Amino acid sequence: MTTVTASENGFRRILRSIHIPPVYFFLILVFLIGGTLDQILADGQIFKNPAIMLNIVVRSVALGIVAVGQSLVIIGASIDLSVAYTISITAVMSSYLMQGKTENVPLAILGVFGIGALIGVANGLTITKLHVNPFIATLGTSLIIKGIINATFSNYTGSVPESFQFFGYGTIGPIPVSIIILFLTVLAGWFILARTKFGSHLYGVGGNTEVARLSGVRTDRVLIGAHVMCSMTAVLAGLFLVSLMQSGAPWVGPNGIYDLNSIATTVIGGTALAGGKGGVWGTLAGVLIFGVLDTTFNQLGVNPYLKTVLQGAIIVLAVASYTIRSKKEVA
Amino acid sequence: MANEINQTSSQNSGNIQPTMEVQNISKRFPGVVALDDVSLQFFPGEIHAIVGENGAGKSTLMKIMSGAYIPDSGKIYLDGGKVSFAHPREAQKKGISIIYQEFNLLPERTVAHNIFLGREPSKFGALDVRQMNKQAREVLMEIGVEKMVSPTALASGLSVAEQQLVEIAKAISFNAKVLIMDEPTAALSFTEVKLLHDLVSRLKQKGMSIIFISHRLVEVFDIAEKITVLKDGKFIKTVDKKDVTPADIVYLMVGRTLDHYFPPLGKPEDFGEVVLKINDASNECLKDINFELRKGEVLGVAGLQGSGRTELAQALFGVVPFKSGKMELHGKGIAIKSPAKAIKNKMGFVTEDRKSEGITPRQPIRDNMLLTVRSTQFLLSSILKDGIRKSRKLVPMLGKQVDIRTDSFDREAQFLSGGNQQKVVLAKWLASDADVFIFDEPTRGIDVESKASIHDMIRDLTRRGIAVLMISSELPEIIGMSDRILVMAEWQIAGELPAKSSEQAIMLFATGHSKNAQKNSELAGKE
């Protein structure tokens, strides 16, 4: 464990440094159970049809992107409840700014990322400088954005040009662009956490703010940075959703429950809500578990209310199994 | 007062410029003046000990010197130039490094990450983990513990002593001019203390200015050259070690001489019937534990770090229960499977790690004291019936019994000093009417006077017929307090010794020498 021998190639070394999180076994388990049930009770598409597997991932893209940002703030012992409405404001503002014209796209993208940065900075400052509990601070931000968009837009607003729909529907070779963007986002999240000073400091701030401060870490800046990144991922998810829908609607964020779902998938992925522990690879697995469940339930034609009940039960079970496991390790 | 300081320092150090100097530092916290007009000088190549009882202001002064606190008034000079620190980072950059009294590691991060937190080596903007591990190994090698601690190990997997070694490695990795150590040896066993002392002398030869806070006067006299005494936030005196005796220092610290450190031991007539009896008990860690604990006695448990002392306490209290064997409480067989059951059966446990197990830091002192009482009652009865009235009477009474120094019992427990926190823990168990007390390191990291008062309280408990099992890594404490001594080694009880046994006799058992001797003699007897 202490030294990496020269015989190991780069890939194995990377694999080793990632430490495949245990949640992947859970993901495989869920997939196998879901597929088997599908085989027995429905038409068995999950195992038979590779397109459906791809579809599971595509449907997870928006949640996956936000969950990466959510993982960052949760590792920093914070939380962001404003991601859903950040997605909404991104969707309506970008489609409003684009007005169906390709030449407006760069400005619109710049504009919404600007708004995202503003939201992130506002969240970060409220939490670090005004010492407002992150839950309340971001809930407040969320309500403020909600009020603003509801006052301004009541329905689909503007539209995105066809060129921009490449983000949502395009493919490079056989792989959808959206999957590539999700993967790049996760990769970026991993790099930031594991391979930058910022990431290292973020684990410090989340693990014990006072320890980090006494070690010379500028804790406030780190947490503000994490919140800005989190809001940026919400903006990216919003752009993806608007390119799918072709026109922005104010309900896109809250309807997808991106706030609570991104928190749930992060925690299922093994990131501690208390902060200081976890990573984005686990979160990706958490997101995919949601995707597999969703697809399985759809295949089986489960009643949507029952679906929610089952989803809730599975979240609790998954997280409980970690705690029990980690307790056993201690004893 | 300022004149006095100038006198002592000019007498001692001639014309050498101090590495660091603080002048007229004052710091107030809500309700207390932590430091009152303190001035001190620290010279290169000198080990300067700062002593004083709890609340004397030592830790506050160190925190000011390292930039963790900003003083209300006063000046700080470094190499003759005036400095001020708005953030610990600025002090670090100017060459001041500190080992804090409390553990400051991130449990979920590796040793290397912990050592280099805030100044990780990087290459092209990316973290250079390999370089970081290499440098961490070098630092660990410098203090000679590279075999015990791996740079890639998680901090949570390290023992308390190993964590302390990592803290030390972190502090010296700054290549500082001034190294401040706040109770660095409190968690270390003998060999590690020796390592640290060697290291300190090496750093001193390099011209580093070392500031050393310790409650172990023996240690202070071992390594320091200059000793400064603080009391109630005020500067009392700086002296050369060679001019004074430990008794002089104690006198300066407490303002009176402590004629004996320990209360008298129990007399044979004080000891009653066997309260707790353990027969052949084992669990995942412990093997074949056998002993009896009598009413009114202090049974000391000695042993080296990792011999199973703490695990024994945890097994008795049901934290990590025994899996096999017999346990009798008041003559009745019982299996204690949880702390709740232990509390119900009137056992009390004062833990080693009071910060994480003893007190709930953010709750008021009052609620901390009433925690055990409340846990054994029904929720509603404690609040509705006579809970409020009772607590109004009980809390000040307990506070008086354990002599907690605070202006209000509504203050959050986190604001108390270590010694006072320990007294809150004690009060908590007193409130529960426990008749078997387990103490795990009752006086770790506590000043001389609080120590003495906690020892008095332990003896008081036994006079009231309470049975006490006291675990300690400090042999003088074991010898001074125990009516009988159990010595643990390698997860079992290596032997039992009578009161007032010598340190040597205890160490023989603790290091496993006597055990073999005993076995050999037993074998010889059989033949």
Query: C-alpha distances in angstroms, A235 versus A78, A114, A245, B376?
Result: 19, 9, 15, 52
- Establish if B70 touches chain A: CB-CB under 8 angstroms: no
Q: Which fold has domain B1-95+176-184+206-259?
A: Rossmann fold (3.40.50)
Look-up of token digits 């388990």: A29
**Count of alpha carbons within 13 angstroms of residue B98, beta-carbon side:** 30
Could you tell me which residues come within 8 angstroms of residue A259 by beta carbon, excluding any fewer than 6 positions away? Answer: A80, A81, A82, A83, A84, A142, A253
How do strand B467-471 and strand B126-127 relate by DSSP bridges? unpaired
Dump pLDDT digits (tens) for A186-237. 999 999 998 899 999 999 999 988 888 888 889 999 999 999 999 999 999 9
User: By CA distance, what is B173's nearest residue in A?
Assistant: A215
- The reply to whether A286 falls in a domain is yes
Cβ contact (<8 Å) for A208 and B106? yes
How do strand B126-127 and strand B484-489 relate by DSSP bridges? unpaired
Domain total of chain A: 1
B204-225 mean pLDDT: 86
Residue B37, judged by CB atoms within 10 A of its CB (0-12, 13-18, 19+), counts as middle
A306-320 mean pLDDT: 86
The mean pLDDT value of chain A amounts to: 88
In chain B, the N- to C-terminal Cα span, in Å, equals 75
pLDDT for the residue B174:
84
Name the 3-class secondary structure at B301. Answer: strand
A158-181 mean pLDDT: 90
pLDDT for the residue A329:
42
Of B106, B118, B126, Cβ closest to residue A216: B118
Among A195, A200, A273, A326, most B C-beta atoms within 10 A, so best to mutate, is A200
Dump pLDDT digits (tens) for B332-375. 888 888 888 888 888 888 876 665 566 777 778 887 887 776 66
Using pLDDT thresholds of 50, 70 and 90, give the confidence band for residue B7. very low
DSSP type of residue B266: P
Dump pLDDT digits (tens) for B190-204. 777 888 888 888 888
DSSP type of residue B16: P
pLDDT at residue A95 above 50? yes
Using pLDDT thresholds of 50, 70 and 90, give the confidence band for residue A153. confident
pLDDT for the residue A251:
92
Look-up of token digits 């168990």: B429
pLDDT for the residue B289:
92
The strands making up B46-51's β-sheet, listed across from edge to edge, are B96-99, B178-182, B209-213, B46-51, B226-231, B234-240
B219 vs B102: which has the higher pLDDT: B219
A315-319 mean pLDDT: 83
Of A195, A203, A331, Cβ closest to residue B109: A203
Cβ contact (<8 Å) for A215 and B105? no
pLDDT for the residue B9:
42
Look-up of token digits 């995707």: A291
**In angstroms, rounded to a whole number, what is the distance separating the alpha carbons of residues A66 and A83?**
7
**In angstroms, rounded to a whole number, what is the distance separating the alpha carbons of residues B184 and B47?**
14
Phi and psi, residue A289, nearest 5°: -60, -45
**In angstroms, rounded to a whole number, what is the distance separating the alpha carbons of residues A63 and A55?**
14
pLDDT for the residue B31:
60
What domain range includes position A284?
A: 57-297+304-319
A228 vs A154: which has the higher pLDDT: A228
Dump pLDDT digits (tens) for B457-485. 888 888 888 999 999 887 888 888 999 99
pLDDT at residue B12 above 50? no
A108-113 mean pLDDT: 96
Domain boundaries, chain B: 1-95+176-184+206-259, 101-175, 271-346+435-527, 357-432
pLDDT for the residue B374:
66
- Establish if B122 touches chain A: CB-CB under 8 angstroms: yes
Q: What is the CA radius of gyration of chain A?
A: 20
| Beta bridge partner(s), residue B230 | B235
Answer whether B72's CB lies under 8 Å from B26's CB. Answer: yes
Q: Which fold has domain B271-346+435-527?
A: Rossmann fold (3.40.50)
Dump pLDDT digits (tens) for B124-146. 878 899 999 999 999 999 888 88
Look-up of token digits 């830091």: B361
Q: Which of residues 95-114 of B touch A (CB under 8 A)?
A: 98, 100, 104-109, 113
Residue A312, judged by CB atoms within 10 A of its CB (0-12, 13-18, 19+), counts as exposed
pLDDT for the residue A10:
64
DSSP type of residue A104: G
Answer whether B276's CB lies under 8 Å from B299's CB. Answer: no
Using pLDDT thresholds of 50, 70 and 90, give the confidence band for residue B521. very low
Answer whether A127's CB lies under 8 Å from A253's CB. Answer: no
- What percent of chain B is predicted at pLDDT more than 70? 85
A156: left (phi over 0), alpha (psi -120 to 50) or beta: beta
Which one, of B63, B81, B77, lies nearest residue B20 by Cα? B77
Chain A: residues touching B (Cβ < 8 Å)? 1-2, 4, 17, 191, 194-197, 199-201, 203-204, 207-208, 210-218, 272, 276-277, 331
CA angle B266, B269, B273 (to 5 degrees): 95
pLDDT for the residue B364:
81
pLDDT at residue A70 above 70? yes
- Establish if B1 touches chain A: CB-CB under 8 angstroms: no
A108–chain B nearest CA distance, Å: 30
User: What does the block give as tokens for B262?
Assistant: 């320990």
Q: Check which CATH number belongs to the domain holding A127 and give it.
A: 1.10.3470
- What percent of chain B is predicted at pLDDT more than 90? 26
pLDDT at residue B515 above 70? no
Using pLDDT thresholds of 50, 70 and 90, give the confidence band for residue B156. confident
| Beta bridge partner(s), residue B239 | B227
pLDDT for the residue A331:
33
**In angstroms, rounded to a whole number, what is the distance separating the alpha carbons of residues B86 and B366?**
35
Using pLDDT thresholds of 50, 70 and 90, give the confidence band for residue B220. confident
Cβ contact (<8 Å) for B88 and A204? no
**In angstroms, rounded to a whole number, what is the distance separating the alpha carbons of residues A21 and A15?**
11
pLDDT for the residue B102:
67
**In angstroms, rounded to a whole number, what is the distance separating the alpha carbons of residues B149 and B169?**
10
Phi and psi, residue A314, nearest 5°: -70, -40
Query: C-alpha distances in angstroms, B286 versus A118, A236, B309, B486, B492?
Result: 58, 56, 9, 14, 6
Kindly report whether the global pTM for this prediction surpasses the value 0.80: no
Cβ contact (<8 Å) for B117 and A212? yes
pLDDT at residue A13 above 80? no
**In angstroms, rounded to a whole number, what is the distance separating the alpha carbons of residues B312 and B316?**
6
**In angstroms, rounded to a whole number, what is the distance separating the alpha carbons of residues B476 and B470?**
13
Could you tell me which residues come within 8 angstroms of residue A33 by beta carbon, excluding any fewer than 6 positions away? Answer: none
Cβ contact (<8 Å) for B126 and A191? yes
Which one, of B127, B200, B210, B136, lies nearest residue B173 by Cα? B136
Q: Which of residues 137-166 of B touch A (CB under 8 A)?
A: 150-152
- Establish if B126 touches chain A: CB-CB under 8 angstroms: yes
**In angstroms, rounded to a whole number, what is the distance separating the alpha carbons of residues B16 and A225?**
46
Minimum mean pLDDT among A123-137, A157-171, B6-20: which range?
B6-20
B197–chain A nearest CA distance, Å: 24
Answer whether B215's CB lies under 8 Å from B250's CB. Answer: no
What sign has the CA pseudo-torsion A87, A90, A96, A98? negative
User: By CA distance, what is B68's nearest residue in A?
Assistant: A214
N residues, chain B: 527
pLDDT at residue A304 above 80? yes
Dump pLDDT digits (tens) for B20-34. 999 999 998 766 678
Minimum mean pLDDT among A65-79, A124-138, B319-333, B356-370: which range?
B356-370
pLDDT at residue A18 above 60? no
Q: How many CB pairs under 8 A join A and B?
A: 84
User: By CA distance, what is A271's nearest residue in B?
Assistant: B108
Using pLDDT thresholds of 50, 70 and 90, give the confidence band for residue A116. very high
Residue B124, judged by CB atoms within 10 A of its CB (0-12, 13-18, 19+), counts as exposed
B125 vs A245: which has the higher pLDDT: A245
pLDDT at residue B3 above 70? no
- Establish if B134 touches chain A: CB-CB under 8 angstroms: no
B336–chain A nearest CA distance, Å: 16
Comparing B1-95+176-184+206-259 with B271-346+435-527, is the CATH topology the same?
A: yes
Cβ contact (<8 Å) for A276 and B105? no
Among A190, A201, A214, A218, most B C-beta atoms within 10 A, so best to mutate, is A214
Dump pLDDT digits (tens) for B82-103. 999 988 889 988 999 988 866 6
What sign has the CA pseudo-torsion A131, A132, A133, A137? negative
Which residues of chain A does B113 touch, with a Cβ-Cβ cutoff of 8 Å? 200, 203
pLDDT for the residue B133:
93
Phi and psi, residue B229, nearest 5°: -105, 130
- The reply to whether A92 falls in a domain is yes
Dump pLDDT digits (tens) for B373-427. 666 555 544 454 455 666 677 788 888 877 777 778 888 887 777 778 878 888 8
pLDDT at residue B250 above 80? no
The amino acid sitting at B330 is: H
Minimum mean pLDDT among A234-248, B155-169, B390-404, B489-503: which range?
B390-404
pLDDT for the residue B375:
62
**In angstroms, rounded to a whole number, what is the distance separating the alpha carbons of residues B411 and B422?**
15
The 3-state DSSP composition of chain A as helix, strand, coil percent (nearest 5) reads: 75, 0, 20
A86-108 mean pLDDT: 94
Phi and psi, residue B182, nearest 5°: -100, 100
- The reply to whether A49 falls in a domain is no
The mean pLDDT value of chain B amounts to: 82
